[in-house]
Amino acid sequence: MGIFSRTRDIIAANFNELLDQADDPTKMIRMIILEMEETLVEVRASAARTIADQKEMHRHTVKLERLQSDWSEKAELALSKDREDLARAALVEKRKAGDTCDQLRQEIAVLDDALRAYEQDIAKLQNRLREARSRQSQISARLESAENRVKLRSLMTNDRVEDAHARFDQLERRVDYAEGRADALGIGQDKATLADEFAALEGGDKVDDELEEMKRALGMKSQDTGSSAKKNEGE
* pLDDT tens-digit map of 44-72: 999 999 999 999 999 999 999 999 999 99
Please give the Cα distance from 137 to 31 (Å, whole number): 14
Mean pLDDT of the chain: 78
In angstroms, the CA 48 to CA 115 distance is 9
Answer yes or no: are the C-beta atoms of 143 and 26 closer than 8 Å. yes
Lowest mean pLDDT among 46-50, 167-171, 214-218: 167-171
Q: Is 1 helix (H, G, I), strand (E, B) or coil?
A: coil
Count CB-CB contacts under 10 A for residue 87: 19
Q: Which pTM does this prediction carry?
A: 0.53
CB 51 within 8 A of CB 95: no
Question: Is 123 a residue whose pLDDT tops 70?
Answer: yes
